[in-house]
Chains A and B, each alone.
Chain A
Amino acid sequence: MSEAVALHAPAIRRDPGKFWIVPPAALLVLLFFYPLALIARQAFLDDSGVANAAEIFRVLHSRFFLNALINTVTISVAATAGCLIVGLVLALILAFVPFPGSSFIARLIDTFIALPTFLVTLAFTFLYGSAGMLNTGLMEAFSLPLPPVDFLYSTWGVVLAEVTVYTPFILRPLLAAFSLVDRGQIEAASVLGARPFRIVRQVILPAAIPALIAGGSLCLLLTVNEFGIVLFIGAKGVITLPLLIYGKAIQESAYQVACIIAVVNIALSLGLFGLYRFAAGRLGV
């Protein structure tokens, strides 16, 4: 063995294969790390290019930043919880309640992943918006002067839209995990006297925990960074970190402030991504 290594060692030195790492690495540095580094650097410089670290503390303690952070976390946690619940219920039905066309439904829900997120928001506006079908219908039916349903233009509207958009991200890994659950175990549990609810809790869910964690952290990650939905709904006062960055950078040209918030946003994302990779690794995907 060691002999073989020794024989091949000189060959490796001349092996051009290892230089193939250079183009992708260079590309990565150029397109990804360099701009990130610029953002991080910009966070320490005021907009005339002078170092100003005190601004960081000011921003991090400011009302608008803390509000946006709280909004982001609230929306993302609520949406993820919603996705987990809806996804779990849907996955259980699709995987364990045999009905004709269940695989078609699963695939249909899957195609949601392919759609741009704001499209769903647009559809929501048509359905639940102040001039949407639900409100005009109710106004006509009960001759109301004002649209009675206005949850869409609030935190909950954003959460609902995000749940709709991101549930498939939970559904997919769950269905994969459920397809691996031995039907024999479910039957054994059933013969032993366990009712469906107990079977779900004690036999099916333990097998799905890695999938739930992986799907859940992916949802957290995506909802923390969600921009399109929040912007499209345009609920008054519902400002999240991505929206704040957009506002500061594009509308106010306050680049340092935007970059400081961006760094926080990136840190949050990377943390959640780490959680996702960890869970996905446990799941073996």
Chain B
Amino acid sequence: MSAVAFTGTSVMDIDAAKIRGAGSNVHFDKVSVAYGAHVVLHPLTLDIAPGEILAMIGPSGSGKTTALRAVAGFVRPASGRIRIGATDVTDLPPYERGLGMVVQNYALFPHMRVEDNVAFGLRAQGADKALIAERVKDALGTVGMATFARRYPRELSGGQQQRVAIARALAVRPRVLLLDEPLSALDAQIRRNMVEEIARLHRSLPGLTILYVTHDQTEALTLADKIAIMRDGRVCSHGPTTELYRRPPNRFTAEFLGRANLLPVTIAEPVGSKGLATARHGDSVLTGAGRDEKAGDKSLLCIRPQHLSLTADAEHTNRIVGTLRDVHWQGELTHLVLDVDGTPVRVSATKLPIALPEPGARVPLFFAPTDTSLLPEDSGV
């Protein structure tokens, strides 16, 4: 299902060509939102490039939905401006913003058939009949729901309803697609498929700018060109997905995105020619990718669980020793939890030595300097 859904639609390819490059950027210019005296979004400045997928992630209550609803026009900023393309939309009502939106519970119109749901936006915009019929067919084809056009929403599964909701949003050719936890009502298996489909959808509509709010970091890492991490109503980091993952700028980002291990270290030698600095953790001398740390600085060495190995080789030149606390076997992955001088360290391994160490054993861990990143110990945000 998922494999055919967004491909093999030749009509879509033509549309894709039409829409290519037609996307708009979204610009938050010092946008703040308050409910009464309670500020839920501190002045936020952020740009989403045309055709970009920006994932906004962060813990519950951090202001993600608020930011998205400000773009949609349901939340009035206390200050700042929001621009979509060249238009300042801050004072426009939602129905004049030319957006698409999909939310967690789909919000399909229960008394309308699937095709009427998808046609709703076009009818509201006064499109003519022939165009509506064509667009509805396209949009439903795009999400693989063409054969369900005559059904009512209650006759569809959750995943199918979500596809219809996406088709409904796409049918109006929005400048920007707003997705607020669109998959969180689906179970894990379907969610994985849908993430793939949204990725494929975006490849076929490369001009479509997407703001994707989620608290699922896997969705964000899979889909997003850039990620903005929200915390307490502020963006605490923002950058290209891989860069944010490889070189998290602060502790919160490192822990929120991919559950990094953070080893407290003291810088011994600042960054040299290869971008590597030397740092001490207890007796161990470790090398890691640094920035502008100075000798003597307290720092955190960020190592991803999958980059730690139980065996040494030419690349895994860093070595630390920990006490094994726990082993969780999960089929394709085995998770080990160790205690390294009071810091819990997680290891995710695909290959393990035949003789697995017992809990309580002292176990050496090896990792490559290039797989690490140094970040400031005390970063406020």
Q: With A198-B124, A202-B120 as given contacts, are A191 and B101 in contact (CB-CB < 8 Å)?
A: yes
Segment with Cβ contacts to B, from A75-83, A101-109, A168-176, A180-188: A180-188
- Chain A residues with Cβ below 8 Å from B97 are 191
- Chain B residues with Cβ below 8 Å from A195 are 95, 124
Minimum CB–CB distance from A212 to chain B (whole Å) comes to 14
Minimum CB–CB distance from A163 to chain B (whole Å) comes to 29
Contact call A184/B168, Cβ cutoff below 8 A: no
- Chain B residues with Cβ below 8 Å from A207 are 110-111
Complex Cα–Cα for A184 and B153 (A):
15
Contact call A187/B95, Cβ cutoff below 8 A: no
Minimum CB–CB distance from A190 to chain B (whole Å) comes to 4
Minimum CB–CB distance from A225 to chain B (whole Å) comes to 34
Chain A residue, CB-CB nearest to B99: A191
Complex Cα–Cα for A81 and B88 (A):
44
Chain B residues numbered 77-126 whose CB sits less than 8 Å from any CB in chain A = 93-101, 103, 105-111, 120-121, 124-125
Chain A CB within 8 A of B172 CB: yes
Q: With A193-B121, A194-B124 as given contacts, are A203 and B101 in contact (CB-CB < 8 Å)?
A: no
Complex Cα–Cα for A202 and B124 (A):
10
Complex Cα–Cα for A175 and B38 (A):
30
Chain A CB within 8 A of B329 CB: no
Chain A CB within 8 A of B26 CB: no
Chain A residues numbered 203-231 whose CB sits less than 8 Å from any CB in chain B = 203, 206-207
Minimum CB–CB distance from A96 to chain B (whole Å) comes to 13
- Chain B residues with Cβ below 8 Å from A182 are 105, 107
Chain B CB within 8 A of A192 CB: yes
Contact call A194/B109, Cβ cutoff below 8 A: no
Q: With A193-B124, A195-B95, A198-B124 as given contacts, are A188 and B101 in contact (CB-CB < 8 Å)?
A: yes
Chain B CB within 8 A of A189 CB: yes
Q: With A193-B125, A206-B111 as given contacts, are A187 and B105 in contact (CB-CB < 8 Å)?
A: no
Chain A residue, CB-CB nearest to B106: A184
- Chain B residues with Cβ below 8 Å from A191 are 72-73, 94-95, 97, 99-101, 169, 178
Contact call A184/B105, Cβ cutoff below 8 A: yes
Main secondary structure of the interface of A (DSSP, over half): helix
Minimum CB–CB distance from A188 to chain B (whole Å) comes to 4
Minimum CB–CB distance from A211 to chain B (whole Å) comes to 14
Chain A residue, CB-CB nearest to B72: A191
Minimum CB–CB distance from B117 to chain A (whole Å) comes to 9
Q: With A188-B101, A190-B94 as given contacts, are A203 and B109 in contact (CB-CB < 8 Å)?
A: yes
- Chain B residues with Cβ below 8 Å from A203 are 109
Number of residues from A at the complex interface, CB < 8 A: 17
Chain A CB within 8 A of B74 CB: yes
- Chain A residues with Cβ below 8 Å from B103 are 184, 187-188
Q: With A190-B94, A191-B101, A193-B125 as given contacts, are A184 and B107 in contact (CB-CB < 8 Å)?
A: yes
Minimum CB–CB distance from A194 to chain B (whole Å) comes to 4
Complex Cα–Cα for A108 and B110 (A):
32
Minimum CB–CB distance from A71 to chain B (whole Å) comes to 38
Contact call B121/A192, Cβ cutoff below 8 A: yes
Complex Cα–Cα for A192 and B117 (A):
10
Q: With A184-B107, A203-B109, A207-B111 as given contacts, are A189 and B74 in contact (CB-CB < 8 Å)?
A: no
- Chain A residues with Cβ below 8 Å from B96 are 193
Interface centre among A184, A187, A190, A194 (most CB of B within 10 A): A190
Complex Cα–Cα for A203 and B96 (A):
18
Contact call A187/B101, Cβ cutoff below 8 A: yes
Chain B residues numbered 155-176 whose CB sits less than 8 Å from any CB in chain A = 165, 168-169, 172
Partner of A187, one of B107, B111, B165: B107
- Chain B residues with Cβ below 8 Å from A184 are 103, 105-107
Complex Cα–Cα for A188 and B168 (A):
9
Partner of A192, one of B93, B106, B111, B120: B120
- Chain A residues with Cβ below 8 Å from B98 are 193
- Chain A residues with Cβ below 8 Å from B168 are 188, 192
Complex Cα–Cα for A189 and B111 (A):
14
Chain B residues numbered 169-188 whose CB sits less than 8 Å from any CB in chain A = 169, 172, 178
- Chain B residues with Cβ below 8 Å from A202 are 109, 120
Chain B residue, CB-CB nearest to A189: B120
Contact call B95/A190, Cβ cutoff below 8 A: yes
Complex Cα–Cα for A46 and B241 (A):
95
Complex Cα–Cα for A206 and B12 (A):
33
Complex Cα–Cα for A194 and B93 (A):
10
Task: Beyond the given A188-B101, A189-B109, A202-B120, please list 13 additional residue pairs across the A-B interface where CB-CB is below 8 A.
Answer: A185-B110, A187-B94, A188-B165, A191-B72, A191-B100, A191-B178, A193-B95, A193-B121, A193-B124, A194-B120, A195-B95, A202-B109, A207-B111
By a beta-carbon cutoff of 8 Å, the part of chain A in contact with chain B is 182, 184-185, 187-195, 198, 202-203, 206-207
Q: List 17 A-B contacts (CB under 8 A).
A: A182-B105, A184-B106, A184-B107, A187-B94, A189-B120, A189-B124, A191-B94, A191-B101, A193-B172, A194-B95, A195-B95, A198-B124, A202-B109, A202-B120, A206-B109, A207-B110, A207-B111
- 6 closest A-B pairs by beta carbon, nearest first, are A192-B121, A184-B107, A194-B124, A193-B124, A190-B94, A188-B107
